[in-house]
């Protein structure tokens, strides 16, 4: 539910009840370690001078432990030359997406390109990726969205992948963007929600002009909306398209960002879609399908009643009140928008009060994440920025691809986000698109991977000085055990620091599904409560501080709500 601050804490303090709190954090600091980590990937959008619309959309990335060694690996999605026809979307000479294995030892972060040995030969015009055990073998699979047919890669459990797109029925031959992996019908199998963007034919490429009357990229309204797709998992790597059966007959919109969570606390997973230039969609799960309720919920448009250019999505329990709040990234001149949840799936736009109105107006935001980067229990915010229309000053300066903007980092000070300074090199101008968060060196601090369009990515190591203890958890379920996507982990006692077990959100990208909790100063252990996707709850612990722990369903103690 919506509250007006951290009043319960203040009330307890006023009554003289002592509260344990994590050690105070220093200023949030990131450093760009891309080169020293051995990452030499560079995204190619096929820039041709013909102003093809797909050029400005990609690319995404994933932080995923593909080989099960406890270290996060990296997948970069590659695009390449825009195909002249969708049927020609996978030429053999196109550079593939690249997989880098984490070989970090003794705190020295290193990655090695293992694309070829992994058998990952994904050569579509790649845009994004979703991650989860879609085939039920206990290992995270990769669903790659493309301009052209999408592809599903089964993780074989030995560090290799097999393309099972044709057999799975998930090829979706259009212009897809972000996707979410989640058990939408609560049958124990993970399904797919795929956002689709526009209908684009390279042979019918319209000419659009900037205010300067010079050639520029078109906006999405020039193109017909594509409409989203839902795939139900039938088991054995097979899926069926249940879009009409589950979503009904709705006009297509221009989808870019997706996230799945139980927004109305009824125990069922809902879907939120950020649409570009159209109203957002809030697909409320009825148990027999989904009902679109964005307008009724207050999150279809901003507080001024305006539709915005929805790109990426950040999600967190910002007020520690047991519901999920939303941050949507938008076009220059619109600001990003913060929707606070009342707890029943209704929202209010509270952007200005949280300090995000004026500060984000000059930027076009894409990938975003709400996460506690300084371990003070409050989710902070990072946004990857990059324009979609030519920045004339950069064009006049002779830049070949004049869309670069700097990224933004905000610290949550309690019902307000304050810009963080001192990270200028790490957040330097680029054409930001995908963004994923995860702990690449397992030190209890979340790192950030920013994937830039037509340029090099940035791996940002979190170097924030934090003296207090922490504990990390990976919630797993099923046999063979897999990441329990859809579960919720929280700290027992004190600030709950409630966190989803999920990989989706942001833009075109996939996050580390593990949760990290800040502990009170001097704490050597902790207890964590996991609410599984079906509502059952278990308490685990004591868990030793300073480590990650696998929490297996059935091995904890039953916990009451």
CA distance 49 to 545: 54
Q: How many CB atoms lie within 10 A of CB 86?
A: 17
pLDDT on residue 10: 29
What the chain holds in terms of domains, given with CATH numbers, is 7-558 (2.130.10.10)
Confidence label for 88 from pLDDT (cuts 50, 70 and 90): low
pLDDT on residue 12: 26
Confidence label for 553 from pLDDT (cuts 50, 70 and 90): very high
pLDDT tens track for 248-274: 999 999 999 999 999 999 999 999 999
CA distance 357 to 361: 6
CA distance 168 to 166: 6
Nearest to 451 by CA among 429, 434, 431, 426: 434
Mean pLDDT score across all residues of the chain = 94
Mean pLDDT of 165-177: 96
435 burial type by CB count under 10 A (0-12 exposed, 13-18 middle, 19+ buried): buried
User: Is residue 143 pLDDT above 80, yes or no?
Assistant: yes
Mean pLDDT of 13-38: 64
pLDDT tens track for 419-477: 999 999 999 999 999 999 999 999 999 999 999 999 999 999 999 999 899 999 999 99
Confidence label for 89 from pLDDT (cuts 50, 70 and 90): low
Q: How many CB atoms lie within 10 A of CB 541?
A: 18
User: Is residue 363 pLDDT above 60, yes or no?
Assistant: yes
User: Is residue 153 pLDDT above 90, yes or no?
Assistant: yes
Q: How many CB atoms lie within 10 A of CB 264?
A: 21
Mean pLDDT of 208-231: 96
Q: Rounded to the nearest 10 degrees, how much is the dihedral formed by the CA atoms of 155, 109, 499, 481? A: 30
Confidence label for 24 from pLDDT (cuts 50, 70 and 90): very low
* DSSP conformation letters of 293-323: -HHHHT-SS-TTS---B---EEEE-TTSSSS
What single-letter DSSP state applies at residue 510? B
User: Is residue 7 pLDDT above 80, yes or no?
Assistant: no
Confidence label for 517 from pLDDT (cuts 50, 70 and 90): very high
pLDDT on residue 87: 59
User: Is residue 90 pLDDT above 80, yes or no?
Assistant: no
- The residues near 101 (Cβ < 8 Å, ≥ 6 apart) are 66, 67, 73, 111, 112, 113, 114, 159
Query: 559, 532 in Cβ contact below 8 A?
Result: no
CA distance 268 to 290: 10
User: Is residue 554 pLDDT above 80, yes or no?
Assistant: yes
Q: How many CB atoms lie within 10 A of CB 117?
A: 12
Mean pLDDT of 71-82: 97
What single-letter DSSP state applies at residue 536? -
pLDDT on residue 84: 78
pLDDT tens track for 191-205: 999 999 999 999 999
């Amino acid at each position: 539910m919506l509250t007006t601050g951290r009043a319960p804490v203040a009330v307890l303090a006023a009554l003289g009840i002592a509260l344990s709190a994590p050690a105070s954090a220093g200023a949030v600091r990131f450093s760009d370690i891309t080169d020293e980590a051995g990452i030499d990937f560079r995204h190619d959008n096929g820039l041709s001078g013909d102003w093809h619309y797909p050029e400005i959309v990609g690319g995404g990335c994933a932080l995923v432990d593909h080989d099960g060694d406890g270290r996060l690996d990296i997948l970069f999605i590659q695009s390449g030359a825009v195909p002249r026809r969708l049927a020609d979307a996978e030429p053999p000479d196109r550079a593939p997406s690249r997989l880098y294995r984490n070989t970090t030892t003794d705190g020295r972060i290193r990655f090695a390109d293992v694309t070829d040995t992994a058998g990952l030969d994904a050569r579509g015009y790649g845009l994004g990726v979703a991650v989860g055990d879609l085939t039920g073998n206990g290992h995270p699979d990769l669903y790659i969205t493309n301009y052209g047919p999408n592809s599903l890669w089964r993780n074989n459990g030995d560090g290799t992948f097999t393309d099972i797109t044709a057999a799975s029925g998930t090829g979706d031959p259009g212009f897809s963007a972000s996707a979410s992996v989640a058990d939408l019908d609560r049958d124990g199998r993970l399904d797919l929600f795929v956002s689709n963007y526009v209908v684009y034919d390279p042979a019918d490429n319209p000419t659009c002009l900037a205010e300067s009357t010079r050639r520029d990229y078109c906006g999405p309204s020039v193109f017909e909306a594509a409409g989203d797709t839902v795939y139900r998992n039938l088991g054995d790597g097979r899926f069926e398209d249940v879009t009409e059966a589950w979503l009904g007959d709705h006009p297509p919109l221009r989808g870019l960002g997706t996230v799945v969570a139980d927004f109305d606390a009824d125990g069922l997973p809902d879907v939120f879609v950020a649409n570009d230039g159209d109203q957002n969609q809030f697909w409320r799960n009825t148990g027999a399908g989904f009902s679109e309720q964005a307008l009724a919920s207050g999150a279809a448009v901003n507080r001024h009643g305006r539709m915005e250019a929805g790109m990426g999505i950040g999600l967190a329990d910002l007020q520690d009140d047991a519901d999920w709040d939303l941050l949507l990234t938008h076009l220059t001149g619109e600001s990003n928008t913060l929707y606070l949840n009342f707890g029943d799936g209704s929202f209010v736009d509270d952007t200005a009060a949280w300090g995000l109105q004026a500060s984000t107006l000059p930027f076009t935001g894409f990938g975003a994440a709400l996460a506690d980067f300084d371990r003070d229990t409050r989710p902070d915010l990072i946004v990857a920025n990059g324009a979609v229309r030519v920045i004339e000053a950069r064009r006049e300066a002779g830049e070949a691809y004049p869309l670069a903007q700097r990224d933004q980092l905000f610290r949550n000070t309690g019902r307000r986000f304050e810009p963080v300074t001192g990270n200028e090199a790490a957040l330097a101008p680029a054409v930001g698109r995908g963004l994923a968060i995860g702990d690449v060196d397992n030190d209890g601090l979340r790192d950030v991977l920013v994937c830039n369009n037509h340029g090099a990515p940035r791996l940002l190591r979190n170097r924030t000085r934090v003296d207090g203890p922490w504990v990390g958890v990976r919630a797993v379920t099923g046999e063979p055990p897999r990441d329990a996507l859809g579960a919720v982990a929280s700290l027992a006692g004190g600030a709950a620091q409630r966190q989803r077990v999920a990989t989706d959100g942001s833009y075109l990208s996939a996050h580390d599904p593990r949760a990290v909790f800040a502990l009170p100063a001097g704490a050597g252990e902790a207890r964590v409560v996991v609410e599984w996707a079906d509502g059952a709850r278990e308490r685990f612990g004591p868990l030793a501080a300073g480590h990650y722990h696998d929490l297996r369903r059935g091995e904890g103690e039953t916990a009451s709500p």
